[in-house]
Amino acid sequence: MAFAEDPTVFLEDFAENVMFTGQLPTLAIFDNAFERGNVGIGMASTQPALRMPSATVPPALADGAVVVVGGALTLVGGIPTLVGGTSYRYREQEPDGTGWTVLFLERVR
């Protein structure tokens, strides 16, 4: 069942600017939750992810495509660009059945 609410309400309150390689900046909700591993004492990780309306996910994202999260939206040569954000690589996506999609990321080091 698709989400009936207007997603712009959530994006206005919780979203950050994001920019995929070769795309114009858009809004998505960024999450970098701490996860404790079930493999022993002291094992933990994070799973960076973006949540965005499925209709706004760029088509044909390739594994490893770079996405910049956060930063200041500015014009460079008349083209909207993010400056000062954190770079991640796109790994996979999972539509949640409500009209939103979760995109799993990996931090670029």
Residue 26 lies in a domain: yes
Would you say residue 32 lies in a domain? Answer: yes
Q: Confidence class of residue 83 from pLDDT cuts 50, 70 and 90?
A: confident
Pick from 55, 53, 64: nearest CA to 20: 64
pTM: 0.81
Whether 85 is covered by a domain: the verdict is: yes
Task: Name the phi and psi angles at 11, rounded to 5.
Answer: -65, -40
- Does residue 11 lie within any of the structural domains? yes
Residue 7: what residue type?
P
Highest mean pLDDT among 34-38, 41-45, 51-55: 51-55
Could you list the beta-strand ranges (E) of 1-109.
Answer: 16-20, 26-36, 44-53, 66-69, 72-76, 79-83, 86-95, 100-107
13 Cβ neighbours under 8 A, 6+ residues apart: none
Q: Does residue 72 lie in a domain region?
A: yes
